[in-house]
Amino acid sequence: MENFVPKAKEKKMLYQTKYASLLGTLSIVSDDCDIVGLWIEGQRYFQEGLREEPLRRDDAPPLLQAKRWLDAYFAGERPKPETLPLAPAGSDFRKAVWRRLMEIPFGGTAAYGEIAQRLAQDLGREKMSARAVGGAVGHNPISIIIPCHRVIGADGGLTGYAGGLDAKRRLLQFEGVKGF
């Protein structure tokens, strides 16, 4: 189940564009081929892991693809993350968690512990730490598209979100999740 584009070893230029959303300004970063980041301006871990400062370039093809995806998402459509060239930087464990996040459907939620159980099964382990999963979820570099906002606590309540709990609540309400 490989959803992410493998990163080539050569250094590629990074490009950035801005996107106005119901959460405020989003910052989208790509190289020439792949989307490498999407953050809410000012969120925790903003642009963490970028190897250089991105150049402003609104017409880079991956950035245009991301904007079209976000247009569809915020219009209430249900675009699939798998349709985009995503290349988040992270460890194999984090990437495995992020792939699991992409399986949570629009309007759905999953608890950290549920994700940990599924990953443990994938890896042939008896169990896995929900806290470790939480760390990977919190460092997701492609917010909204890789839907970390759909992860909730074991009690069904809101828990941490790098973009803030208000943003998480607004996204869940936008998707029609009851109780938020």
Closest C-alpha among 52, 61, 66, 51 to residue 18 = 66
Sequence-separated (6 or more) residues with CB below 8 Å from residue 52: 14
Which residue out of 14, 101, 119, 148 is catalytically annotated?
Answer: 148
- Gyration radius of the chain over CA positions: 16
- Sheet containing 35-40, strands listed edge to edge, beginning at the edge strand earlier in sequence: 35-40, 24-30, 15-21, 55-56
Contacts of residue 128, defined as CB under 8 A and 6 or more positions apart, other chains included, come to 116, 117, 119, 120
Query: Quick one: angle between helices 92-101 and 130-138, nearest 10?
Result: 80
Of the candidates 55, 48, 12, the one whose C-alpha atom is nearest the C-alpha of residue 33 is 12
In the numeric block, which tokens belong to residue 45?
Answer: 């871990």
33 flagged as catalytic: no
Beta strand 24-30 with 15-21: parallel, antiparallel or unpaired? antiparallel
Give the residue numbers marked as catalytic: 148
